[in-house]
Amino acid sequence: MSCPFHTPASRRNFLIGAGGIAGALAGGAGAQAKPHHPPLTKTASLDDGGRLPFYGAHQNGITTPIQAHTYFAAFDVTTDQRRDLIALMQSWTDASAKLTQGLSLSPPDVDPGKAAADSGEVLGLPPSRLTLTFGLGPSLFAKDGVDRFGLGPRRPQALVDMPRFVGDQLVPARTGGDLSVQACSDDPQVNFHAIRQLMRLADGVSKVRWVQAGFVPGYDPNVTPRNLMGFKDGTMNPSPTDAGMMEACVWSGDEGGAWMKGGTYAVVRPIRIALEHWDQMTLGFQEQTVGRRKVSGAPLSATTSGAESEFIPLDLEVADKDGNPILPENAHARLAHPANNEGAQILRRGYSYDNGVSFVAERWPPWRQGMELDAGLLFVCYQRDPRTGFIKIFDKMSKFDMMNQFVTHVGGGLFACPAGVRPGGYLAQALLEA
Amino acid sequence: MSCPFHTPASRRNFLIGAGGIAGALAGGAGAQAKPHHPPLTKTASLDDGGRLPFYGAHQNGITTPIQAHTYFAAFDVTTDQRRDLIALMQSWTDASAKLTQGLSLSPPDVDPGKAAADSGEVLGLPPSRLTLTFGLGPSLFAKDGVDRFGLGPRRPQALVDMPRFVGDQLVPARTGGDLSVQACSDDPQVNFHAIRQLMRLADGVSKVRWVQAGFVPGYDPNVTPRNLMGFKDGTMNPSPTDAGMMEACVWSGDEGGAWMKGGTYAVVRPIRIALEHWDQMTLGFQEQTVGRRKVSGAPLSATTSGAESEFIPLDLEVADKDGNPILPENAHARLAHPANNEGAQILRRGYSYDNGVSFVAERWPPWRQGMELDAGLLFVCYQRDPRTGFIKIFDKMSKFDMMNQFVTHVGGGLFACPAGVRPGGYLAQALLEA
């Protein structure tokens, strides 16, 4: 498997396609890449009633064109009985099949003497392209050295314990989880409702550990959206419609066991961005940090010749008259270049997040203390193997990326997303019944 | 001034129109009310490039058809110089006039040697019906007994210090503020961007104190949306297109001084809802609490006869065969009835909010402790005089409403929103230059 490279967690931008299967995708370094597919942005308005199927060979919400809003939730399993876990997966499967189709979990007016099965805040609301995507964390297979459910022997090698990266400041209350659910739709209330119902169905078996909502701006689907740093983000993410690419770099084959065949691995990282600090930087320094122009998105290595297309590949060799590289050695885009990463491919599907403001003691001049924006990037990526995907790429980036002075990884997790569910089956059935 | 009554903070639903000016609006109690106007929901999709004017006789964002997303921010003023405050208002005015039109505060590529004036995350994005609505808190006129800016003599009587209501659990970090800004648009990134620029422009003069984002679900504009309790919300809010009603009950006349003529008063209250607790209640109890049917929205007093329209007025007299009222004495809708409130009118313009999960020690059986949804209602209402508006209505509700066992007011503030700005002028100019 050889895949084009792209950047890791701290930005969703700056993917540089190259080599291998990527030939058809983005062209090698130096070739003139073209916008070969619309970016992963929403294709429907808030008012569309889009119903996406829950059942299928793969879980939905991975290669699905990105919806406007997400709600990610990680759960701790509190039971030690596998049968409870099976019952939960059956329950979540049934609920997901209904929720994605805009169906109430139960008509709330059936029996006034009982609690309504569905909280009802989406009654009459379109399903808004809701997808629900489930994952299993490493701790489901081994927690504090204990194999709680007898699943240890079927843990895929790719489902590693995440290494600690340079600069990680992971808050336990926002890190890990035995189970994960990613709700995505074009309506925040639809996502909220879905997660709320799943939380309730988990009662007594599993409880929520952390959540994070996010959004993408409403750019035209043919325009690369901008993230909160103000730069274009997603210029050269691989096309989810390229089935060959997805097979090679996103979907698991036989290597993870039957229950993971057609599944994938999700890396989720909430990354706080020091926006007040970033905003104080000169435009030139921002561009040096990123390696691209802010307005056009063109790589700095191209703009010496006046070219301003975001789709021009990076040129790592171009230098000024004194021999200094136009693209700084530690520029985000340079470090993410395929020539630096031995071939890795991840499908990024992140969102911006905004958690309001919180108290910060600045670690930069003028060392102010006060309320600052608690906002940034809910980085989400999918890959066939995180060891040759996110971990490979981010190991270097975490050490050298100039952007690190503006971004802090504050939590996250790795989750094995099982293959899709066929009607009559349930999530992770092939694992839990093996 | 005589206005129809409606409910206060804990729900946006259950408005019952009656009497006075309301005659044309909703009909007296017992009359058959009809949907006389579309509810305050969004009228444009995320992709519309809607530009709403910033300048005008009134500030926008008050009677504007509600946008899909809000971002509310309260600021503390740190200067003690009125001239700094004037400069801030001039700066915010100029910025608002640009931001609402989708204009960058400055092309970010002008001078690479300087910090970009605009952070740029909305470059190429439509303005998405952005409105920015500003307010002044009581503490701007008197803080700890000090009239910092010599504005005390021009403080309107209606800009009272908010009384403490029964059940208030106001967190200081989410309460008060010398200044307020309400950003509303159909795109969360547009709101975030606007508040971020205003925060930056305030640097050295004012700093953010608390913020709260919110959303409304994407119901068809002709359908009353549901809040997170699952009930319809906004059935009989007064029509912002009824100019006579707005003049009488929303816009300030001469009574607040020239700078407030055409302005209004905003009450903002983030209200956490114990959703996990609410979800455990039987459907019948939920409906008794609210006083309305969950699915149809019809008042319980009507449904004994099988009528299921949300627009049927409440009947406070109807009783069962034993003489017990069909509508419980402490039902939310009964307490909000005009017959109980001496005439008051507020224009509600609230949003649901979702702050993820936080640790809760439940105060109800089975007394669990753990992570629960930190979500609820960002209650926002506008009125000509809060003493005869929100305060009048909520004083009783806070004591007797059955719903209080599920809702907690956790912060908020009262803000005087000056009249609109004419081109060439600036926010609150008539106050600050008087």
Concatenated DSSP letters of B77-144: E----HHHHHHHHHHHHHHHHHHTTT--SS-TTS-TTSB-SS--TTTT---TT-EEEEEE-GGGT-BT
User: Of A371-375, B112-116, B236-240, where does mean pLDDT reach its minimum?
Assistant: B236-240
**Burial group, residue A35, by CB count within 10 angstroms (0-12, 13-18, 19+):** middle
A413-417 vs A264-273, strand pairing mode? antiparallel
Residue contact A355–B355, C-beta within 8 A = yes
pLDDT at residue A378 is higher than 80? yes
What is the least distance, in Å, from the CA of A319 to any CA of chain B? 19
pLDDT at residue B54 is higher than 60? yes
- Does residue B204 belong to the interface with chain A, where contact is any CB pair within 8 Å? no
pLDDT at residue B17 is higher than 70? no
pLDDT band at residue A143 using 50, 70 and 90 as cut-offs: very high
Work out the percent of chain A whose per-residue pLDDT is above 70: 88
Spell out which residues of chain A touch residue B355, defining contact as CB-CB under 8 Å.
355-356
B264-273 vs A369-383, strand pairing mode? unpaired
What is the least distance, in Å, from the CA of A281 to any CA of chain B? 5
Cβ pair A353, A212 in contact under 8 A: yes
pLDDT digits over B26-38, tens only? Answer: 222 333 333 333 3
- Does residue B280 belong to the interface with chain A, where contact is any CB pair within 8 Å? yes
pLDDT digits over B343-370, tens only? Answer: 778 999 999 999 999 999 988 888 889 9
> Least CA distance to A120: which residue of chain B?
B230
Residue contact B356–A354, C-beta within 8 A = no
Nearest-CB residue to A354 (from B114, B188, B229): B188
pLDDT number for residue A237: 84
What's phi and psi for A402, nearest 5 deg? -55, -25
Give the residue-averaged pLDDT of B403-411: 96
pLDDT at residue A255 is higher than 90? yes
pLDDT number for residue B343: 72
Rounded to whole angstroms, the Cα distance separating A74 from A138 reads 12
Interface predicted TM-score (ipTM): 0.89
Length of chain B: 434
User: B297 vs B308, which has greater pLDDT?
Assistant: B297
pLDDT number for residue A334: 87
Q: Furthest-apart CA pair in chain B: how many Å?
A: 81
> Least CA distance to B293: which residue of chain A?
A109
Q: What does the DSSP assignment read for A205-235?
A: TEEEEEEEEEE-----TTS--B-TTSSB--T
- Does residue A373 belong to the interface with chain B, where contact is any CB pair within 8 Å? yes
User: Of A19-33, B213-227, B250-264, where does mean pLDDT reach its minimum?
Assistant: A19-33
Interface test with B, best of A121, A125, A275, A372 (most B CBs within 10 A): A121
Give the residue-averaged pLDDT of A312-336: 90
pLDDT band at residue A363 using 50, 70 and 90 as cut-offs: confident
- Does residue B197 belong to the interface with chain A, where contact is any CB pair within 8 Å? no
3-state secondary structure of B319: strand
Cβ pair B286, B431 in contact under 8 A: no
Give the residue-averaged pLDDT of B80-86: 97
User: Of A40-54, A89-103, A124-138, B293-307, where does mean pLDDT reach its minimum?
Assistant: A40-54
pLDDT number for residue A48: 47
Residue A106 host element (H or E): none
Give the residue-averaged pLDDT of B3-23: 30
Report the mean per-residue pLDDT for chain B: 87
- Does residue B306 belong to the interface with chain A, where contact is any CB pair within 8 Å? no
What's phi and psi for B48, nearest 5 deg? -75, 150
Give the residue-averaged pLDDT of A381-392: 95
pLDDT band at residue B303 using 50, 70 and 90 as cut-offs: confident
Our CA dihedral for B17, B20, B24, B28, rounded to 10 degrees, sits at 50
Query: Which residue shows structure tokens 């006349």?
Result: B253
pLDDT number for residue A33: 34
pLDDT at residue A44 is higher than 70? no
pLDDT number for residue B36: 34
pLDDT digits over A79-110, tens only? Answer: 999 999 999 999 999 999 999 999 999 765 67
Nearest-CB residue to B370 (from A45, A109, A207): A207
Interface test with A, best of B48, B71, B109 (most A CBs within 10 A): B109
Rounded to whole angstroms, the Cα distance separating B409 from B419 reads 28
Interface test with B, best of A171, A210, A226, A232 (most B CBs within 10 A): A226
pLDDT number for residue A367: 87
pLDDT number for residue B127: 95
| Chain A / chain B CB contacts < 8 angstroms | 221
Report the mean per-residue pLDDT for chain A: 87
Residue B192 host element (H or E): helix B188-201
pLDDT at residue A314 is higher than 80? yes
User: A368 vs B261, which has greater pLDDT?
Assistant: B261
pLDDT number for residue B107: 67
pLDDT at residue A361 is higher than 70? yes
Nearest residue to B356 (alpha-carbon basis) of A59, A108, A414, A358: A358
pLDDT digits over B147-161, tens only? Answer: 999 999 999 999 999
Spell out which residues of chain B touch residue A123, defining contact as CB-CB under 8 Å.
226, 230, 295
